[in-house]
Structure 1
Amino acid sequence: MAESSARKQNIVVLTVAAAIILLSVVMTLLFSGRFLEGLLFDSSNKGYQNITFTDAVITCRERTESQFGRRLRTLELDNHSSRFDEREFLYKIFIRVETPAAKAGGLTQHYVNCFVKSSSGLIGKFEAWEDKQEKVSPVTENDTNMFGWPR
């Protein structure tokens, strides 16, 4: 009989201890805001979590290298303009790229804007364009310039 009551007492003590530990874990997760984070709350607007500036640069660099492929000759990070935007929780990475020119020989410059989400490390926006200089004049009837003078 004494053995049976001691066994029941041990079971009760272990059950209460497990309940206290479980309650402690749940309360910690609840008050830290991580308990319902994935279910009710959107964690995308919390800003910096695990992504560093270097991670964002590496992500953009890899995307730029895959975009330009074997044509890529020079890839240069703009350290002055690249930054973390606290309002949008984005890393804004700016890169200058040089590729071989199609006709004239030499190199053509391209500019890349790459915006990386700080919460996930995914690229939110990627833009690349070529720096072109073209002679532009207004289109007029009867082949005159914009002041009406003949060309």
Structure 2
Amino acid sequence: MARALHFESANSSVVKSIRQRDFLNTWLRLYARSQTIPRMDEFQPERIEEDLPDTVFLSVDAAAQPQRLTIESDGTRMATAYGHSGKGRLLDDYLGPRLAPVVMPVYHECIARRLPAYTITDIDDIYGHVVAYEVSGKLRPFTRRGSMA
């Protein structure tokens, strides 16, 4: 049975990774200028090249309900983890029936709020201790010429 997800607003201090906090703060500065989602070409944080192997770009079909997310890039580490590239595929299809119900609500919340999403999940380590696993500010919405990317 799927657990209900709880979303709440927080400031950037919840993000533990310094680099991811820099990415988030860069996004927030761009957002603050016009109170709208920044364009992707405006987003130029320091050391972004180091994160590109982990980065997956998605396009959003907002006309579909729920919105459909298509993988637009070959995130090298994602392709390694899943054994193949997802470029051109719908994200929920790529994730599969086991992961999609857990992962997709976070993406849909990011789209609905038009704000970055950050997740922390409690998991048990090999010794049975609860460890907080964070996905550090990885979901940031952008636009391309006025439409969400």
Question: TM range, normalised to the smaller chain?
Answer: under 0.3
Q: Which has the higher contact order (CA 8 A, sep 6+)?
A: 2
**If each structure's strand is expressed as a fraction of its own residues, which one has the higher value?**
1
> Which entry has the higher C-alpha Rg, 1 or 2?
1
Return the TM-score normalized by structure 2.
Answer: 0.23
